[in-house]
Amino acid sequence: MKHLESFNNLVQVLEEEVTVYRHFLDLVRHEYDILVDSKIEALVENNKAKDAMITKLKSLERIREKRARELAVMLNLKPDMITLLELASKLDQTQGDKLRSIHSTLDLLVKRVKDNNQKNEVLVQSALTNIKGALESLKTSLQTKTTYKNEGQMQQTAVPAGKFVRKEV
């Protein structure tokens, strides 16, 4: 009966992990819209929420590992590096199916988070490339231009590339 309590404790933490991963996936998906709309304040808030979710997931992961080890010991398995699927194979059909189902859900959520995160990274990298190109173009247009001296040599004096006609608007 003790192993049933350990199993239920493990399932409880796993279900909480699923909930947090779903919320995290929503944040990553929403991040794409924020990036497209260039809403800096919203991006900062979204990043804070993602950091909070990551902290929560790390905490849950430590608890999950502890509970999985406890259950492994009760099932006479080596507790080091035990996986959910190994535990599931040693439990009765109903409990094993429950762990396999949660494992598959977590696996799918993690894959979706990674995919969406990669999509966001591509968008950010593209934006950075465009910004770098625009800055380089601006830098080039504002650099001093060289002119010819009377002797035919290049003069390296500061002749501005552009001039303000008026400073008033």
Please state the rounded mean pLDDT for residues 37-52: 92
pLDDT category, 169, cuts 50, 70, 90?
Answer: very low
- Other C-beta atoms closer than 10 Å to the C-beta of 123 total 14
Position 145 scores a pLDDT of 61
Mean pLDDT of the chain: 85
pLDDT category, 155, cuts 50, 70, 90?
Answer: low
- Asked if pLDDT for residue 165 goes beyond 60, the answer is no
| DSSP for residue 165 | S
Can you give the pTM of this predicted structure?
A: 0.75
Phi, psi dihedrals of residue 79, rounded to the nearest 5°:
-75, -15
Residue (of 117, 100, 107, 126) closest to 38 by Cα position: 126
How far is Cα 110 from Cα 62, in angstroms, rounded to an integer?
A: 17
How far is Cα 21 from Cα 32, in angstroms, rounded to an integer?
A: 17
Q: Which residue has the tokens 């933490």?
A: 13
Question: What are 138-153's pLDDT values in tens digits?
Answer: 777 777 666 555 665 5
Q: What percent of the chain has a predicted confidence (pLDDT) above 70? A: 82
Structural contact between residues 155 and 146, judged by C-beta atoms closer than 8 angstroms: yes
| DSSP for residue 147 | E
Whether domain 2-159 has CATH 2.30.42.10: no
Question: What are 62-96's pLDDT values in tens digits?
Answer: 999 999 999 999 988 888 888 999 999 999 999 99
Q: Are strands 154-159 and 145-148 parallel, antiparallel or unpaired?
A: antiparallel
Least confident stretch, 14-18, 33-37, 164-168: 164-168
